[in-house]
Structures are given as structure tokens and as C-alpha cells.
Amino acid sequence: MPDVFGIGTSALLSLQRAIAVTGQNITNVNTEGYSRQDVTFAATRPQELGVGFIGTGVEIQSITRNVDEFLNVDAQERTSLATGAQTLADLLGRANAILGGSETSLSPALDGFFAAVQDVANNPGSLPERQVLIGQGRVLSDRFVNIDDRLSTFNQEINRRITDTVGEINALIDGIADLNAEVQRTNGSNRTPNDILDARDQSILRLSELIGITTVQQSDGSTNVFVGNGQALVVGSRTTSLQAFNDPADISRVNVGVAGVSVPTDLSSFFKGGELGAVLEFRTGTVDTARAQLGLIAVSISELVNSQQALGLDLNGDAGVALFRPPEPLVGASILNAGSGVLDVSIGDVSQLTGARYTLRFDGTNYTVTNNNTNASVTGAGPSLTVDGIDITVTTAPAAGDIFTIDPVSQAAGLFEVEITDPRLIAAASPLRSSTSLTNAGAAQLADLTIAGTAGLPLAGPVTLTFDPDALGAGVPGFTVAGIAGGPIAYDPATDSAGIDVALGDLRFRLNGIPETGDSFRIENNLDGSGDNRNMLLLADLQSRQTLFGGTANFQDGYANLVGDIAVRGQQAESTAATEDALLQQALNAKTAVQGVNLDEEAAKLLQLQASYQAAARLISVADEVLQTFLAATRR
């Protein structure tokens, strides 16, 4: 009978624990990350008798989680991709609203400015039109500054998000390492710490929301976690933390690297997926690009308008002054530099600007300037180098190994402003005028008089061009030139009457028609330009002139390309986010189907266990009755 009692007792104890496990499943039906647990029963070691072996009862062999590691890994990867895609789509949507919104776009301000330029060209002597032009210049300036300020706010937000996310990542990997240590302590004891494993899986899943990771299961039960290009974050119970640090060459920019090193290295480009990967991608692919292209447009407008202003005369009869603040490229020296080198950087040819940042390195002998977008580089002994329309002069030599960051344009939009307040300073007139001698007998004309520079102005005296059939000798016809170096000008009426373009020093004009011998033209200083609009017409022409990206786009094209690119990438990001979310839901559903708790199934199991428990209790009761009957019989 003691054997029967032992069998019944083992059944009661085992069933009691199984009921507790089922109750745990039921109570955690809504617990995120909980894995349904199953109890496996096994017969205890039998007792050997003379007639054979007889059972001694039952025991719980194991309590296991219902998990599929493949589905877990799939859910981690899909979580990282879906979270990253949605974060990027949200950020791109906000950027598109800034750049493409009807109330915030640069396009209306550009149209308004050049419409005001045309109004001055239509009435060059009127002060109201000139005042409106200055006002529209301020509207354009405000729009540049507003857009750049809002993009700069993105940078501040990104810096905070990077810092906060890195802090959360480090907290999670510390927690995963601690959980690994607990799992390792139970390894080999035949006891599975199910709740600890669930907690670790949940921490890994949360980590995958923040950054793209890969995980590797180890034989001791621990899980190693890697990020980026194979950088280990968790190996067993050991961790390698990340750190957010200010870029040595640009302290306004927060980068991400490995903690615990004397000189941190920026590993931002290796981090993909999750919130952190999306934020880093948005910064380099959208904010940096948008600010650079916006700044490039600002630099181009400032440089070209100011240059055209300088080639004209204002209402006071003076050479035009800068209408907009001249651009100032940003030069930053790494805080790790050993020397005190100084660079002088200026804009040379705006049509060659790319909008990229550049890194200048000095190896002790040569200077190497690298385009950070394309990695194309130019090397020279200095002290002067020209790269993509940027003129660089080393005024104070640095130490070997020193590094400088050159940002020609991305700050320009935020610094764009109107320099003048007096409408009389608008240079609408050309500094020179031409006239045709009243005695000319032919039909030749001198037209389109402009200047390429102001070094020779005002002219010391009139410049006279006179047609001579033998101007160049040997019967070669042309125009003799008096008053300026550079003549004579070859001009054959038989072949050139349709017109030729002439460059005479800084003078530019066109000759056409058929002259007679002695016909002449006169070029002289413009003494009264109040009704002259020739320079303003040239300034108005800048609106449609293709001056950006190697002469392939005008100002509006450049901005439209920027807005269109971000809009397209925003649409792609939204589509990707929708796709990834659907795939994530499929992965989570598949995972839940395996490890989730089914209340109907647990209720049925509970009833089964209850019946078994009652039967085991009845077994003990029957055994007790038999034993009592036996004892009563033997007492007689």
C-alpha cells in the first residue's frame, strides 16, 4: 500500500504543478512577449520486484516554452525594418511639408523677387519700384532663413534622438547581458528559466526597434548580439557600449561610435535599420543634402546678383554695390589638430559648385582635398588649390596630420540677407553707352554692349571703332580701335554681316550689318543712367539662365529638383513602410501562433488536469480505505 500512496502523491504533486503552469499561461494571456509553457510528464523510475518491475508514480520531466527561434529572428529583423521605414517616412513627410508647402516654399519668393527686378527694368528711374525690389529681396531672404532654420531644427532634434537612443541601446544591452548571465548559471541543470528567456527575447525585440541587429545563440544558452558591420554589443555576459559624441570637425553634429576608446571613430554609416538607422539616414540623405542644395542656390543668387550689380550704375552714377550679403564658406579645424593652420576659402565659379562638404588633410608635404559625397580628391603642394569652383588658400601652414572641414554652401541660406536699404543704390543702368556716328553711310550696328569686369572703368576717354577696308593690312577689312588696347577688329562685310561677338578688354558687344568706309561707333562712360535699364535686364535674365550644376539648371530648376527628390523619396518611404508593416504583422502573427496563449486550449487542459487530480485524490482515498480495512482485520 505504501507504493500506492507514493504513486498517488506523485500524481497529486505533479498535477498541482501542471495546474499552476496552466494558470500561469491563462493569467499571462495579455502579457507582451510571454511564451506559452507546456508541462511534460514522465514516469518515475520503476521498482524491481521478483515478478518484474512496478511503477512508482509520475514526475514533471520539463516545463518548456513554445517558441520557434527562426520566427523570433524573423520578427526581430522585420521589427527593425518596419520601425526604420516608418521613422524615415515620418521625417521625410515633415521635410517635404517644409520645402514643398505653398506657404513655406522658396519658389514664390523667387518669382516675386525677379518680378520686382522686371518692374525696375520697365521703369528704371522710379524709386517706388526700386523700393519694392528691396522689399522682395527681404522676402526672399526671410524665406531662405526660415527654411534653413527649420532644417537646422531637424539637426538639433536628430542630435537629441541620437543621444537618447544610444542611451536606451546601452541600457538594453546591459539588461541582455545580465539575463545571459542568469541563463548561463542554470545551463546544464536541466532547468529552463522560461520567464528569463522571455524577458531576454523581449529586450532583444525592443533593441531591434532601435537599431538593426543580428543575434547568435550559444551552446551555454546565452545570445550574442551584433550590430553594423559585425561590431559586438553583447557577448555572453560582457557588453560593448556605444557612445554619442560631438564630431571633432563640427561640434554641432553628434556622431555614434564605440565607447571606451581614447579617440572615438564615427561608425554612423554602418548602422542600418531601426530608429537610429533611420535618423542617421535622414540626416545624411535629406537634411544635409537639402541644406547644401538650398545653400548652393543662395550662394549662386548672391554671387550672380552681386556680380551683375557691380557691373552697373546706380542712380547716383556710382558702381553698384552688393545687394545681398556675400557668402562666407565655413571652415572648421578638427579639435585634434596639433598645428594652428589657417585656410582662406572663397567661391570661384558658382556653376561648378556641387553642394558637398570637403575634407582637407595635410600629410606634411601635400594637401589633399576630398569630396565627402563622392570621395573624389585633389592633391597638391599648395598653398592654393581649386576644387569644384572653390578656391582654397593656405595662409598659415598646419601641422602634419591636421584635418579641416570645408563647407562652402550649407550655411549660406541661413546667412542670406539684403545688404542695402537705399533704393537709389540699385544699379539698373549700364556704366557704358554706345552711339553711332550721324555721318555713317552704311547699315552696320554695334549692339548688346556689356562689360565683363570693372577694372578699366570708368573709361579714360571715348573708345572709337572706325571701319577700314584695309584695317589689318593686305586688304583685310575691319575696324580700327582708338582709346583702348586690343584693336584692330577683323570684320569682313561679305561674311560677317550676320554679326560677330567682340571681346575688347572687358568690353563685350556685337557688330553686324554692312558698313561703309569711315563709318564709326563710339563707346563712352554713361553719365546719366536714370532711364537706362540695360543692367537690370541682364539681372532679370539670371532667373532663366542655367547657372547651377555645370550650367544645367536655373534657380527654380535647382529648387524644384530638391523638392521633387524629397517628395519622391518620401513616397517611396511611405510605400516601403506600408510593405514592411504588413510583413511585420505576418511575422508577429506567425510567432504568436506558436508561442501565444489560447484560452480555449488552456481551459480544456485545465479541465483535463482537474479530472486527473480528482482521480489521483480518489486513488489515495481508496488506498486509505483498503489500508484501514486491512489494519482492522489484523487487529482481531
Evaluate if pTM is beyond 0.85: no
Average pLDDT of the segment spanning 94-104: 88
Find the distance separating the first CA and the last CA of the chain, reported in whole Å: 20
Q: Report the relative pairing of strands 507-512 and 445-451 from DSSP bridges.
A: antiparallel
Q: How far is CA 590 from CA 146, 580, 586, in A?
A: 48, 15, 6
Q: Looking up cell 559624441, which residue turns up?
A: 245
d(CA 257, CA 267): 5
Residue 393, pLDDT score:
92
d(CA 418, CA 424): 14
| Location of C-alpha cell 570661384 | 348
- Return the closest-CA partner of residue 234 out of 208, 272, 255: 208
Angle of CA points 232, 237, 243, to nearest 5°: 45
Which residues have CB under 8 Å from 46's CB, separation 6+?
Answer: 53, 54, 55, 56
How many CA atoms are closer than 13 Å to the CA of 600, on its beta-carbon side?
Answer: 0
pLDDT for 10: 86
**Residue 166: pLDDT above 90?**
yes
Mind listing the pLDDT tens digit for each residue in 368-390? 999 988 889 999 987 899 999 99
Q: Report in angstroms the alpha-carbon separations of 414 from 103, 346, 560, 593.
A: 18, 18, 19, 54
Measure the CA–CA gap between 498 and 496, rounded to whole angstroms.
5
- Candidates 303, 359, 290, 323; CA nearest to 548 is 303
Indicate whether 1 pLDDT > 60: no
Choice between 61 and 427, residue whose per-residue pLDDT is larger: 427
Between CA 372 and CA 353 the distance in angstroms is 14
Categorize the per-residue pLDDT at 55 as very low, low, confident or very high, splitting at 50, 70 and 90. Answer: confident
Binning pLDDT at 50, 70 and 90, where does residue 61 land? Answer: confident
Identify the three-state secondary structure at position 612: helix
Q: What is the mean pLDDT of the chain?
A: 90
Looking at residue 188, its pLDDT comes to 61
Residues in the chain: 636
Q: Give the pLDDT confidence of 453-496 residue by residue, as tens digits.
A: 888 889 999 999 999 999 999 899 999 999 998 889 999 999 99
Q: Which residue has the cell 508647402?
A: 101
Q: How confident is the model at residue 32 (pLDDT cuts 50, 70, 90)?
A: confident
Mean pLDDT of 525-535: 88
538 band by pLDDT with thresholds 50, 70 and 90? very high
**DSSP at 441:** -
pLDDT class for 636, splitting at 50, 70, 90? low
Residue pair 524/416 in contact by the 8 Å Cβ criterion: no
Going by pLDDT thresholds of 50, 70 and 90, the confidence category of residue 154 is: very high
Buried b (16+ CB within 10 A) or exposed e, 445-460: bbebbbbeeeeebebe
Is the pLDDT reported for residue 189 higher than 70?
Answer: no
Task: Kindly state the average pLDDT of the residues 309-313.
Answer: 93
Per residue in 407-443, pLDDT (tens digit) is 999 889 999 999 999 999 999 999 999 999 999 999 9
* Structure confidence at residue 529 (pLDDT): 79
- What is the greatest pairwise CA distance in the chain? 164
* Confidence category of residue 190, pLDDT binned at 50, 70, 90: low
Tell me what percent of the residues of the chain surpass a pLDDT of 70.
99
Lowest mean pLDDT among 152-166, 181-195, 381-395: 181-195
Angle at 578 between CA 573 and CA 584, to 5 degrees: 120
